[in-house]
Chains A and B, each alone.
Chain A
Amino acid sequence: MRSLRVLGLAWLLHVKMMSRSAFDGAMAVIWPLFYATVAFFMFRTGHGSSSLGPIGLAAAVMGIWTATSVPASSALQRERWSGTLELLVVAPRHLALILLPITLAASTIGLYCVAGTLLWARVLFGIHVTIIHPLFFVLGLVGTVLTIAALGFLMAVSFVGSRRAWAIGAALEYPIWLVCGFLVPVSLLPGWAHPFSWALGPTWGMRAIREAAYGGAPLGSLLLCVGLAGVYLALGVLVLRVVLDSARKRATLSLA
């Protein structure tokens, strides 16, 4: 109960902070629009304008990852820069409870982008996205936000020792877009890339959203998406334990 309160409040305050930053807030919404626009032009030339719905949807969901990758991978580093990291570590809460809301806030900001891109697609390209199962659609979005937040959490704790954390996050933007089958069907990718696609929660989140919008059985994909989120979280907590132990022992984390 108390843990939920911590999660909730921390999430709220981080959403507040990110919304107030031009880079985390406005850019996170605008940046994917450029890619969406290019994709719309490309698919319109190749497929004609009739079947652009799924493309609009995919371009919209891509933004959740964009909003998350850099802020999440550099989350600890940002706390260090602002001098708050040690304060968070000496607080009597498990650090995971403090970090997860940061990446969750970032992926939540991504929802602005989903809405922005859908609006953009509709107004400028006349792309209408119709949704057959609205409930599953919402659940799919929530699941995708969760799985991306969990993935971000795993990244945050894994790259903690690295001054390059933000650059790793930036470099991971395109690969995840590509591998998770947002605009390019997984089947088009070379065979060796398929296991990566399957192991990534966003792949299943996107699939669930697509199935919810255009008919199909989204439940299976949704469960896989959320299940993978749980796996990332568990892994993240394990990594965090190792990181914190070594930080206290060897004065890494620049805690000293």
Chain B
Amino acid sequence: MIEAINLRRTYQTTTGVVRRKRLDVEAVRGISFSVDQGELFGLLGPNGAGKTTTIKMLITLLLPTSGQARVLGHDVVDDAREVRKRIGYVFGGDRGLYERLSAYDNLRYFAELYGVSGHRQRQRIDEVLELVGLKGREKERVEGYSRGMRQRLHIARGILHDPEVVFLDEPTIGVDPVGARDLRQMIADLITVGKTVLLTTHYMFEADALCDRIAVIAKGEIVGQGTPAELKGNVAGGRVTEIEVFGVDEATVVRLRGVGGVSAVTVEEQDQKQLLIVQTTGERELTQPLLAELDGVEVGRVASREPTLEDAYVALVTAE
């Protein structure tokens, strides 16, 4: 349904006032992935990793510098119009709506732009309002809407023309936890009615809960791809050991990294103490050798747990 083959995108920026220097910034450097019908595919990555640029190439807003992309078999460069007709695009945030119009008028406007036929419009708008739970509020002006209501309206707008593929760019950003849970349910429902969804998000538990498959992007490249379970397994291998310490120095952390079977060590600063998150490969219990390296350091709680998607993600994006 969605196919990206070696996509690249370079931006040119100029710096300097007197002597202008052209600078090429590679936002996306050769990304390939494909999304199957009915799949919910997640694109994860830190800010500036190239997620949004990738989406913008796929929805025809930006031309790739090189490489190819097809959505539903249509090339995003040559058949932009065909692609546009068949996709929905939803981004997160308060913007992108006409504040002085009612939700109903907002939807009517986009229904017309997307060629939803006249006699279908009213019925279809009712359907999507029902779906996102805004029925009864549709005559109110958007300026009075809460953040969560706006996001639901965004989704309603994105699926108005019944697109086969929906692109969701950080749709739950800034929404309160309960509202975000509703939104996630809505996104999951899209799959059950047969849509294909490409989702970007910062929230690992969200990706873990929703996505069938995930690609992790860092610095414009895909650094890991697979189902959430595969990612957790591949990267962290065995287990994660968390050790609470009070005052650990850099040299000790380096020593820990050298322990056989340790794949990554990250330090989380907490009030008076630090939390060492040690990822290990293989099944071997490493608690003893680790504690041996920490000789002389005051150690608090020690726990061993299953790796989460976040562990996998951190390992992927911090790996050089």
Does A193 sit at the interface, judged by CB under 8 A?
no
Inter-chain contact total with CB atoms closer than 8 Å: 83
> Which of B15-23, B54-62, B183-191, B264-272 lines the interface with chain A?
B54-62
Chain B residues near A93 (CB-CB < 8 A): 113, 115
Judge whether B97 and A84 touch: CB under 8 Å.
yes
Does A83 sit at the interface, judged by CB under 8 A?
yes
CB of A14, distance to nearest CB on chain B (Å): 9
Judge whether A10 and B60 touch: CB under 8 Å.
no
Judge whether A10 and B109 touch: CB under 8 Å.
yes
Q: Among A88, A90, A251, which residue has its beta carbon within 8 angstroms of that of B60?
A: A90
Judge whether A249 and B60 touch: CB under 8 Å.
no
Judge whether A83 and B96 touch: CB under 8 Å.
yes
Most buried by B among A10, A88, A251: A251
Chain A residues near B60 (CB-CB < 8 A): 90, 248
Q: Give Cα distance in the complex from A248 to B114, angstroms.
A: 20
Does A21 sit at the interface, judged by CB under 8 A?
yes
Judge whether B61 and A17 touch: CB under 8 Å.
no
Does A89 sit at the interface, judged by CB under 8 A?
yes
**Which of B95-112 touch A at CB < 8 Å?**
95-101, 105, 108-110, 112
**Which of B17-58 touch A at CB < 8 Å?**
52-53, 56
Does A199 sit at the interface, judged by CB under 8 A?
no
Judge whether B62 and A251 touch: CB under 8 Å.
yes
Identify the closest chain A residue to B86 (Cβ): A92
CB of A115, distance to nearest CB on chain B (Å): 23
Q: Give Cα distance in the complex from A13 to B113, angstroms.
A: 13
Chain B residues near A164 (CB-CB < 8 A): none
Does B203 sit at the interface, judged by CB under 8 A?
no
With A89-B61, A92-B81, A256-B62 known as contacts, the answer to whether A6 contacts B112 (CB < 8 A) is yes
Does A163 sit at the interface, judged by CB under 8 A?
no
Chain A residues near B98 (CB-CB < 8 A): 13, 17, 82, 84
Judge whether A84 and B61 touch: CB under 8 Å.
no
With A87-B110, A255-B56 known as contacts, the answer to whether A16 contacts B101 (CB < 8 A) is yes
Does A20 sit at the interface, judged by CB under 8 A?
yes
Identify the closest chain B residue to A84 (Cβ): B96
CB of A109, distance to nearest CB on chain B (Å): 14
CB of A194, distance to nearest CB on chain B (Å): 41
Interface string of A13-56 (1 = CB under 8 A from B): 10011001100000000000000000000000000000000000
Q: Is the interface of B mostly helix, strand, loop or mixed?
A: mixed
Identify the closest chain B residue to A255 (Cβ): B61
Interface string of A64-91 (1 = CB under 8 A from B): 0000000000000000001110111111
Judge whether A92 and B115 touch: CB under 8 Å.
yes
Q: Give Cα distance in the complex from A166 to B292, angstroms.
A: 69
Q: Give Cα distance in the complex from A171 to B278, angstroms.
A: 64
Judge whether B100 and A21 touch: CB under 8 Å.
yes
Judge whether A87 and B89 touch: CB under 8 Å.
yes
Judge whether B108 and A91 touch: CB under 8 Å.
no
Identify the closest chain B residue to A18 (Cβ): B100
Interface string of B111-153 (1 = CB under 8 A from A): 0111100100000000000000000000000000000000000
Judge whether B96 and A98 touch: CB under 8 Å.
no
Q: Give Cα distance in the complex from A219 to B188, angstroms.
A: 62
Q: Give Cα distance in the complex from A84 to B59, angstroms.
A: 15
Identify the closest chain A residue to B143 (Cβ): A20
CB of A214, distance to nearest CB on chain B (Å): 40
Chain B residues near A138 (CB-CB < 8 A): none
Does B226 sit at the interface, judged by CB under 8 A?
no
Does A135 sit at the interface, judged by CB under 8 A?
no
Judge whether B11 and A90 touch: CB under 8 Å.
no
Does A250 sit at the interface, judged by CB under 8 A?
yes
Judge whether A256 and B61 touch: CB under 8 Å.
yes
Chain B residues near A13 (CB-CB < 8 A): 98, 101, 105, 108-109
Q: Give Cα distance in the complex from A5 to B112, angstroms.
A: 8
Q: Give Cα distance in the complex from A198 to B98, angstroms.
A: 38
Q: Can you list the 4 inter-chain pairs with the closest CB atoms, starting with the nearest?
A: A83-B95, A83-B96, A92-B84, A91-B113
Q: Can you name 6 A-B residue pairings with CB atoms under 8 Å?
A: A13-B101, A17-B98, A91-B114, A256-B11, A256-B56, A256-B61
Chain B residues engaging chain A, CB cutoff 8 angstroms: 11-12, 52-53, 56, 59-63, 81, 84-85, 87, 89, 91, 93, 95-101, 105, 108-110, 112-115, 118, 157
**Apart from the given pairs A10-B113, A83-B97, A92-B85, 8 other A-B contacts in the complex at a CB distance below 8 Å:** A6-B113, A10-B112, A17-B101, A82-B95, A87-B157, A90-B84, A91-B84, A93-B113
